[in-house]
Structure 1
């Protein structure tokens, strides 16, 4: 027991090893890493005057500042995003609850109906969310019957968090 007590004045401290936050990619994750690691993303959109609707979505990162997810072309969400493309995005868990310590980021969405982005997003979402895709497709068929499942890609340009709130029209 005598070896456990040490006088602090006898220890020499190298200035290089004093408690400092470690600098590196794992201390401040880049935007693409945040979205790649998120189980789902909570997407909040404007649905009417002073009304916001939040929906959990299966997303993939595109580059450093973009997200992509699929919606049905016949859904109300697609029509609302055509009228007003402003969205708020936030990483969430598998139930759609925001991740502790995360914050909302503003974004501008656009609908993509053709091109090489559609098969790319479909394959990436299938690779990331293997077992969840059949469940989502089944739920879509139960609620929407003949409406196509995920035939439109929504591309969101995510900007850095801002202190200005999302204003409704």
Structure 2
């Protein structure tokens, strides 16, 4: 995987979580983290080919006000596609992976993080938020993918404000 990032300054490419304080008096980002913290799942839509989009429900945690993080396997097609084209649409979802009522899609830019302290932080936060769902997901991954590593890459998505411009294929 070329173009992946670490959260340590090793090779010049650094993924830094957005830790800006929340805006007082109800600014645009004042409830940004709450949307992702309260979501049971998040639907992540990515570009999979020319004029093709694929949506997958993911277990996520908020990072700061404008970012969220989830984990994928380094051997998955999703990881390769996000390394090639990091544009995504994210939308809060319910427990079954359907869009939450009243929610809407937001554009984002995904970065793959392969090493550093962000990996351990995301793993512990996801374990705390989703408790019993992690062993179930790990078992399903083992059944479907055999000995492929489970969730060894963190995807850090910087979410933009809602935009009327659609995500067009390149």
The TM-score with structure 1 as length reference comes to: 0.83
In 2, distance between residues paired with 1:139 and 1:29? 36
Local SS of the residue matching 1:160: coil
2:82–2:111 Cα contact (<8 Å) kept:
yes
Q: Could you tell me which residue of structure 2 aligns to residue 136 of structure 1?
A: 137
Local SS of the residue matching 1:141: helix
Q: Could you tell me which residue of structure 1 aligns to residue 58 of structure 2?
A: 57
1:141-165 CA deviation, whole Å, 9 max, x = no partner?
0000010000000000000010000
RMSD (Å) for aligned C-alpha atoms = 1.2
1:121-160 CA deviation, whole Å, 9 max, x = no partner?
0000000000100000000000000100000000000000
The answer to whether structure 1 residue 118 and structure 2 residue 123 are counterparts is no
User: By how many angstroms is 1:29 displaced?
Assistant: 6.3
In 1, distance between residues paired with 2:48 and 2:62? 25
Gaps of 5+ in 1: 1-23
2:36–2:62 Cα contact (<8 Å) kept:
yes
The TM-score with structure 2 as length reference comes to: 0.83
1:74-89 maps to which residues of 2 (within 5 A)? 74-89=75-90
Higher radius of gyration, 1 or 2:
1
Gaps of 5+ in 2: 1-24
1:24-39 maps to which residues of 2 (within 5 A)? 30-39=31-40
1:100-140 CA deviation, whole Å, 9 max, x = no partner?
11000000000000000000000000000001000000000
Q: Could you tell me which residue of structure 1 aligns to residue 101 of structure 2?
A: 100
Local SS of the residue matching 2:112: strand
Structure 1 segments, 4+ long, off by >4 Å, are none
Q: Could you tell me which residue of structure 2 aligns to residue 43 of structure 1?
A: 44
1:19-51 CA deviation, whole Å, 9 max, x = no partner?
xxxxx76xx961100000000000000000000
User: By how many angstroms is 1:168 displaced?
Assistant: 1.1
Higher share of residues assigned helix = 1
